[in-house]
């Protein structure tokens, strides 16, 4: 064995020491909590609802979970296909007996229609798409730009399908609560008009919609805490996830102030729904912020304490929406001829045989 590995081990130990030193500079957790209470909101302890309490809360209406999945088949752009599936699953059946809404789509630069769409998209978003400067080869630059446009389009497609499934579910099931997998920023950012429509529909139908975030990715707390001396000491990057890690107790949530919300468009609270120490978050529509106490109690109720901190219903939807590698292999192989797979859709790495 080469000795390089020992050198790496040494370097890792150095890193580890560094991190320890950093953490040592942190203030006591009580001090951090006090600062969060003054500048962000109050800590609340969620309670597990009893059966009758849950029933009273829902008033006979359903719970819907929404999730999407994307699978990629093939190799590098443009020899690739994206398969989309979105699912909104209800706990109660609709009048026709159905319990879910499902959408599927396919996107690939190998299809002429799609390719045209990609090119148009590229034109529209030219300003957003930046390709590494200094490249002289114009063809290559264009290819890279096209590829980026394609991936953006794929993201957009996924969001649209999730929103569409959610909207259809609201119409069909008229649920009390809709849980979206992931925060609202992505939905709004990529959904555009469709998001506005979704928001409007939820508000008119009186359906509460919540974006459930497994692990916070925002960067908002540090500015709020900036005027508290030293509480941010020892945090490397001061991301919200770093600040909240281990700060909340199990079942505890940080009820951010409604007057000074930490995101402008939505109402967001931080949660710890399972025994894992990292914090999650929930996005609410501003107009539905009063429901937050009840909803968090309910989400806590349906989150297994030994889990990744996601309400089980979203896990159920996630399991159902996902296409496994096996399934994908199977449908591709049984619907696309071998010669087509070999010449267009075979990723390079599959051909290596070690």
Partner 1 sequence: MQIVGQTTQLEAWVASRTRKFHINEILIIEDRDHRHPKAEVIETRTFNRYIPLASEQSNLVDTSVLEGLRSVGFDIEDEEIHLGKLRLIEELPTPIRVGAPARVPSFAEVEDLLIKRKPHEGLTLGVIQGSREIAKDMPESLQNVALLFDKENGVGEQGGVPFVFDYRSMDQYPHIGIFGGSGSGKSFGLRVLLEELMLKQVPAVVFDPHFELTFDQEFPNLPEDFRHSFKKRFVTLDAGEDIGIEFSELIADDIVSLLRASSGSITDAMETAIKALHKKSDSFLTYSTRMANLAEALDNEKEIREQSRDEYLNPNDRERVKLLNDLLVKYKDKVGGFSGTLRSVLRRLTRLEMEGVFTSAGTKKVEEAFAKRQLVVIRGSMYFLNVFAFYVVRKLYRKRRDYRDSIQKGRPVEEKFPPFVIITDEAHNFAPKGDVPAPAKGVLKEIAQEGRKYGVFLVFATQRPALLDDTITAQLSTKLVFRTVRSVDIAVIKEETDITAEEAARLPYLSSGTAFLSSAITGRTTAVRIRVSKTTSPHFKNPFEELEEGFAEQDEKVWEAVLPSLPIDASNLNAYLTEIGRKVGRLLSFDELEKTLEDFVDQGRLLKVSTPFGARYNKA
Applying CB under 8 A, the residues found at the interface with partner 1 are: 48-52, 54-55, 58, 62-63, 90-92, 176, 298, 301-308, 312-313, 315-316, 319, 326, 330, 334
Minimum Å gap between C-beta 114 and partner 1 is 27
Question: Residue 89 is encoded by which pair of tokens?
Answer: 């699953």
Nearer to partner 1, 187 or 314 (CB): 314
Given the complex with partner 1, which of 64 and 243 has the nearer CB atom?
Answer: 64
Q: Is residue 207 within 8 Å of residue 176, measured between CB atoms?
A: yes
CB of 310 to partner 1, least distance (A): 10
How close are the terminal C-alpha atoms of the chain, in Å?
Answer: 20
Q: How far is residue 111's CA from residue 131's CA, in Å, rounded to a whole number?
A: 24
Question: In whole angstroms, how close is the CB of 63 to partner 1 at the nearest point?
Answer: 4
In 3-state terms, what secondary structure has residue 88? strand
Of the pair 266, 313, the CB lying nearest partner 1 is at: 313
Nearer of residues 36 and 63 to partner 1, judged by Cβ? 63
Candidates 110, 101, 98; CA nearest to 68 is 101
Fill in the DSSP letter of residue 3.
T
Min separation Cβ 105 and partner 1, Å = 21
Nearer to partner 1, 256 or 303 (CB): 303
Task: Report the residue count for the chain.
Answer: 354
Strand 280-285 with 266-271, pairing: antiparallel
**Residue 273 and residue 309 in contact, taking contact as beta carbons nearer than 8 Å:** yes
Give the helix ranges, DSSP H, for 226-291: 240-244
Half-sphere exposure of 174 (CA within 13 A, CB side): 8
Contact, 164 vs 180, CB < 8 A?
A: no
Minimum gap (Å) between residue 218 Cβ and partner 1: 26
Q: State in angstroms the smallest separation of the CB of 272 from partner 1.
A: 16
Q: Tell me, what DSSP letter sits at residue 291?
A: G
Q: State the nearest-atom distance from the C-beta of 316 to partner 1, in Å.
A: 6
Smaller CB distance to partner 1: residue 49 or 203? 49
Do 280 and 254 meet the contact criterion of CB atoms below 8 Å apart?
Answer: no
Nearer to partner 1, 91 or 103 (CB): 91
Cβ 302 to partner 1 shortest distance, Å? 4
Nearer to partner 1, 39 or 250 (CB): 250
CB 172 within 8 A of CB 94: yes
């Amino acid at each position: 064995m080469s000795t390089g590995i020992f050198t790496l081990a040494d370097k890792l130990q150095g890193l580890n020491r560094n991190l320890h030193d950093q953490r040592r500079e942190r203030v006591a957790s009580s001090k951090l909590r006090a600062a969060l209470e003054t500048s962000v909101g109050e800590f609340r302890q969620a309670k597990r609802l009893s059966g009758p309490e849950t029933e009273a809360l829902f008033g006979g209406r359903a719970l819907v979970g929404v999730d999407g999945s994307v699978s990629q088949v093939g190799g590098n752009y443009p020899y690739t296909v994206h398969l989309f599936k979105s699912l909104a699953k209800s706990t109660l059946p609709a009048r026709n007996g159905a319990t879910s809404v499902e959408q599927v789509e396919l996107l690939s630069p190998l299809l002429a229609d799609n390719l045209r769409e990609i090119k148009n998209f590229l034109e529209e978003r030219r300003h957003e798409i930046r390709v590494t400067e200094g490249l002289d080869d114009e063809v290559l630059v264009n290819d890279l730009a096209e590829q980026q446009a394609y991936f953006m389009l794929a993201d957009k497609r996924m969001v649209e399908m999730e929103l569409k499934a959610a909207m259809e579910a609201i119409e069909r099931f008229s649920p009390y609560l809709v849980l979206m997998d992931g925060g609202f920023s992505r939905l709004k950012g990529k959904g555009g008009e469709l998001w506005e429509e979704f928001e409007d529909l939820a508000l008119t139908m009186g359906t509460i919609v919540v974006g459930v975030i497994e692990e916070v990715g925002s960067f908002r707390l540090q500015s709020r805490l900036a005027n508290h001396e030293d509480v941010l000491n020892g945090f490397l990057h001061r991301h919200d996830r770093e600040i909240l890690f281990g700060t909340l107790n199990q079942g505890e949530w940080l009820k951010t102030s409604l007057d000074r919300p930490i995101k402008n468009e939505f109402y967001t609270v931080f949660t710890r729904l399972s025994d894992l120490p990292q914090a999650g978050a929930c996005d609410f529509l501003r107009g539905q912020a009063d429901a937050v106490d009840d909803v968090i109690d309910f989400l806590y109720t349906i989150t297994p304490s030994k889990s990744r901190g996601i309400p089980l219903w979203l896990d159920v939807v996630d399991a159902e929406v996902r296409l496994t590698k096996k399934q994908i292999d199977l449908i591709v192989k049984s619907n696309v001829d071998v010669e087509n797979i070999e010449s267009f859709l075979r990723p390079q790495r599959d051909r290596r045989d070690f």
